A and B are shown apart, each in its own frame.
Chain A
Amino acid sequence: MNKKVLYFIRNKTIHFILLMIAVAIFNFILIDLSPIDPVNIYLQQSSVSEAQRAALEQYWGVGQPITTKIWNWLINLLQGNLGTSLIYRVPVSQVIIEKFEASVVLMLLSWLISGLIGFFLGVVAGKNRDSWIDKIIKIYCYILQSAPSFWIGLLILIIFGVELGWFPIGLGVPIGTMESNVTIWQWLARLVLPVLTLSLVGVAPIAMYTRNELVEVLSSDYVLFAKARGEFGWPLIERQALRNILLPALTLQFLSFSELFGGAVLVEQVFSYPGIGQTAVAAGLQSDVPLLLGIVLVSAVFVFVGNLIADILYYFVDPRTKENESFDV
């Protein structure tokens, strides 16, 4: 490995550690400032004696100074102990792994689909700049970009779930069926509408970005020179432009991991899809502090990974950045 790669890894590792510590501390402080009383949440209005209550308060650390609480939280975190979820009454890590699995399929599929369709639409629009097809794609993107994703989700639910009845209206498995008895088709059928919603919403930015990049490349001097040498039409775009716009598009798509996560939260709520997004909402509404903190940490890791991949692409795939680049923090 050369020096550059080592620098890259070193700097990214430092970034990651600092980011996680900051996220952990700030979120803990926010939750601590909120009026949530963990003991009341835990008890859920069941009556206990004063002594039992005092024991619980000691367990939850009520009344301790915030620095002690943060310190304990960080130490537990280092040991991989995220605490126990108050809603599910199982370790937070277990809940997160289970819910995240369901969400990853949803997010990955819509990420892929929106990326492919968005890139394709962007290329078509850019190649046929100012034609009717370009205008249609632009209008489509503006509408989607300005519409909230939960609203798109509701529309799709009404059209395909309720009116047409093609797909189930929600939930991860059919009502009254054990998870272990669900067929893959039943499971897939429930995935279609959420994936469709997330993909539709994700298409807009990548399509518009790709279109503008292509328009810029097509008006560049090197495309003019290629034309002067007899290249034209689709081969011209394939040879001279695709590679040049693919890298920025991929970078953008990886950077959009955060929006993907945010979109999943809303869409899972609309379709009652039992993923990490819905769990996050539930944890927030029912004041499940350990679970909420755990999900925040996991989402930070998720977004960091997206940005990291974008950085790797940017630094190592483009031949122009292969040399004389330093990675000073």
Chain B
Amino acid sequence: MNKLLEVDNLSIGFTQYFKGLKQRKLNVISDLTIDLYENEILAVLGSSGSGKSLLAHGILGILPPNAEVNGLMYYKNEELTDELKEKLRGNTISLIPQSVNYLNPLMKIKYQAIGYIEDESLKNEKLKKQEEIFERYNLDKTVGDMYPHQLSGGMARKVLISTALLNNPKIIIADEPTPGLDKKSVDETITDLIDLKDKGVSVILITHDIDTAIKTSDRIAILYLGYIIEVTETKNFKYNNENLLHPYTKALFNALPENGFKLTNGHQPSYLNIPKGCPYQDNCEYKTDKCLKKVPPLVKIGTSLVRCYYPIIN
């Protein structure tokens, strides 16, 4: 399979002012390394507020101007420069945003779905395609003439998915598509995501919903305190935790309801106090002095990548 997208050592930080004129630097993403292959769903799993959305914005090149970005990204082995991002976003790489807030409250749905098109005949063509896609998602014809505030949660999600499909994208980044939805809508979203993959689109699913991630994805990348700590095949999550290598991933598995609801003490530290060394050291039972000094590198073990000096291999 061909590699579509590669993100190497991406870091995103912000300089903040606090207490008047004092500055501090906030590293929201410290070392994010993932790759995406053709025809796969990669879930990026991280807790709420862990800067997952910034990854999407970073790939699309729409981070706020005060963000400090380091690291390299490649699209089909070509370096993803700002110019290339500008060229790809909206066409080759599409975003499915989180909520209806990402739609302009004063614009009719159909014009938002097709995006900005100058040419009049091209516009009509797109409107026709938009109607087809809406029909495929069981959206009524009248939805196109509605305004965002008239949509229900489920309709809004379908509209947002439709917006991504109009330009035949290669990569879709779905940013938290499930929170706040009822069980039925979540199931529909899962079907829709798998459906996208079957159409030949690769999906980066950014989520904190481990259940959706397991049900849809081929691989799961786990984000902890701005570091990717493990990238593993989703099937490793399914039956037992034997093939999960990082202590955090194992704890995550054990905490799932079907695996005994075992909770681990401690919590993820704040971004203001990212420890020197391994990000997971505060809650790790296997840590040694080595872990406190230097961040472990991401190493390949079997089909997985893991950032740990002492991966748990059964």
Contacts and interface: CB of A to CB of B under 8 A. Distances in A.
Interface residues of B, number: 24
Given A229-B89, A229-B90, A320-B147, A221 B101 contact: yes
Q: Which residue of B91, B95, B102, B149 has the most chain A CB atoms within 10 A of its CB atom?
A: B102
Nearest to B90: A230
A176 interface: no
Given A220-B101, A222-B104, A230-B89, 12 more contacts: A224-B62, A228-B89, A228-B94, A228-B95, A229-B163, A231-B90, A231-B116, A236-B116, A244-B105, A319-B106, A319-B149, A320-B149
B102 A222 contact: yes
Interface of B: 57, 60, 62, 86, 89-91, 94-95, 97, 99, 101-107, 115-116, 118, 147, 149, 163
B30 to A, nearest CB: 23
A221 B91 CA distance: 19
Contact of A227 (B62, B101, B106, B147): B62
22 contacts: A221-B101, A222-B102, A222-B103, A222-B104, A224-B62, A226-B115, A227-B89, A228-B57, A228-B62, A228-B95, A229-B90, A229-B95, A229-B115, A229-B116, A232-B86, A236-B116, A243-B107, A244-B104, A318-B106, A319-B106, A319-B147, A320-B147
Contacts of B149: 319-320
Task: Identify the 8 closest CB pairs spanning chains A and B, nearest first.
Answer: A230-B90, A229-B90, A225-B102, A228-B95, A221-B101, A222-B104, A227-B62, A221-B102
Interface residues of A, number: 21
A251 to B, nearest CB: 14
A228 B53 CA distance: 12
Contacts of B86: 230, 232
A61 B57 CA distance: 78
Contacts of B90: 228-231
Interface in A112-126: none
A299 interface: no
A239 interface: yes
B18 to A, nearest CB: 20
A235 B104 contact: no
Given A225-B97, A320-B149, A230 B91 contact: yes
Interface string A137-180: 00000000000000000000000000000000000000000000
A240 B104 contact: yes
Contacts, number: 68
B66 to A, nearest CB: 11
B102 A224 contact: yes
Interface of A: 220-222, 224-232, 235-236, 239-240, 243-244, 318-320
Contacts of B147: 319-320
Contact of B116 (A235, A243, A319): A235
Contacts of B163: 229
A225 B113 CA distance: 11
Q: Which residue of B99, B104, B147 has the most chain A CB atoms within 10 A of its CB atom?
A: B104
B106 A243 contact: yes
A244 to B, nearest CB: 5
A221 B116 contact: no
B116 A222 contact: no
Contacts of B103: 222, 225
Nearest to A246: B106
A88 to B, nearest CB: 50
B179 to A, nearest CB: 15
A224 B86 CA distance: 13
B120 to A, nearest CB: 15
Contacts of A226: 104, 115-116
A321 B269 CA distance: 44
